[in-house]
Every structure is written in structure tokens, then in C-alpha cells.
Amino acid sequence: MDKIEHIGIAVRDLEKSNDLYAKLLGKSHYKMEEVLSEGVRTSFFEVGPNKIELLEATSVESPIAGFLDKKGEGIHHIAFAVDDIVAEMKRLESEGFKLLNKEPKLGADNKLVAFVHPKTAGGVLVELCQERK
Ligand SMILES: CC[C@@H](C(=O)O)C(=O)SCCNC(=O)CCNC(=O)[C@H](O)C(C)(C)COP(=O)(O)OP(=O)(O)OC[C@H]1O[C@@H](n2cnc3c(N)ncnc32)[C@H](O)[C@@H]1OP(=O)(O)O
Ligand SMILES: [Co+2]
């Protein structure tokens, strides 16, 4: 795995959180995007070589809605940049990690993504992210 690509943070109200994180980081978000397949609206902030991804649920079935209900707002996942997501998924599976999707899926920011179950990754939901070629 390469660098941390982004840290995903679950929020209840994206506009309010955009204002909060703009004050915290001293800069505005640079883009917003809806990802229908995940039931989320996102916004992105650049922090050096990494990003903060704010995530608001757009449906009750969204993983973010379930997380907010159980845990409230806060860090939801850590995403690592990888060069070859399929190879990395195979490697992690062979190491005993449980992948939450069989194949990479389309995420935000023109990336292919896959998730590792937090129960097999020390209580942390891990996302793999590959730039689409
Ligand atoms: C914007 C697109 C994309 C990107 O491009 O960056 C994204 O980031 S999308 C982000 C949202 N999508 C996802 O999170 C997809 C993967 N997530 C899932 O499949 C599910 O959320 C889950 C991780 C399998 C959990 O779902 P489920 O089993 O239905 O929920 P439970 O509440 O029953 O949780 C079971 C168990 O796991 C613990 N848990 C749940 N979420 C997290 C988390 N984010 N971090 C750490 N632990 C988590 C939860 O507490 C339960 O534990 P116990 O209570 O001890 O059983
Ligand atoms: Co993410």
C-alpha cells in the first residue's frame, strides 16, 4: 500500500460540517460529489498529500446512516492508495482479511474502491483506492 489517500468522516449535515472543517483547516473544500451506490454525499478537503472526505448519508440504507445511528459523527474509515487494487485485494484475502466486495467498485473522485471489514482489521474500516486508468 502507498500513502493514506483519505480519511473518511461521517457527518450529519454536510454544509454545516463544510463550514466547521473550513474553519479548522483554514481552507474550503475543493469539491462535492454524490455517490449513489453508497448512498452518500461527499466533500473533499486537501491536507498536504492527503484528503479529508466528509460523508453525509442520503438514504437510511447508507452505511453512513447506520454508523451515525450507532456511533455518531466521527472517523468512519481510512483509505489507502494502491497501484493495483485487484492484486491488493487478493493479497489481503490470502492474509485472512475479509473483503466486503468481491470486485472493485466505483467510488468518489474517479477512483476504484474496495473495503476491508473492520472486524478483521483491528476495528478500523479500511478502504483501498486506485486511480482509474
Ligand atoms: C464516497 C465513496 C467511497 C469513497 O470513494 O471514498 C466511500 O468512502 S463510501 C463510504 C461508505 N461505504 C462503506 O462504508 C462501505 C463498506 N461498509 C460496509 O459494508 C458496512 O458499513 C460494514 C462495515 C460491513 C458495517 O455494516 P453492518 O455490519 O451492517 O453494520 P453494523 O453496525 O452491524 O456493524 C457490524 C460491526 O462492525 C462495526 N463497525 C461498523 N462500521 C464500522 C466502522 N466504520 N468502523 C469501525 N467499526 C465499524 C460495528 O460497530 C459492529 O461492531 P459490533 O457492535 O462490535 O458488532
Ligand atoms: Co472513502
Instruction: Give 40-93 pLDDT, tens digit per residue.
Output: 999 999 999 999 999 999 999 999 999 999 999 999 999 999 999 999 999 999
First to last CA, the chain: 18
Pick the residue with more confidence: 28 or 1? Answer: 28
**Structural domain for 36, as ranges:** 3-131
Residues with CB under 6 A from ligand 1: 8, 35, 38, 40, 42, 53, 55, 63-64, 66-67, 70, 76-77, 79, 100, 107-108, 111, 113, 115, 117-119, 123, 125, 127
pTM of structure: 0.97
Q: Measured between alpha carbons, how far is 35 from 26 in angstroms, rounded to an integer?
A: 26
pLDDT for the residue numbered 106: 94
Q: Measured between alpha carbons, how far is 78 from 4 in angstroms, rounded to an integer?
A: 7
Residue 23's CATH number: 3.10.180.10
Q: Measured between alpha carbons, how far is 81 from 74 in angstroms, rounded to an integer?
A: 21
CA–centroid distance, 8 to ligand 2, in Å, is 5
Q: How many CB atoms lie within 10 A of CB 64?
A: 23
Mean pLDDT of 22-44: 96
User: Collapsing DSSP states into helix, strand and coil, what is residue 5?
Assistant: strand
pLDDT for the residue numbered 1: 84
pLDDT for the residue numbered 109: 87
Mutate to test the pocket of ligand 1, among 67, 73, 85 (most ligand atoms within 8 A of CB): 67
pLDDT higher than threshold 80 for residue 126: yes
pLDDT for the residue numbered 113: 97
Number of domains in the chain: 1
pLDDT higher than threshold 90 for residue 2: no
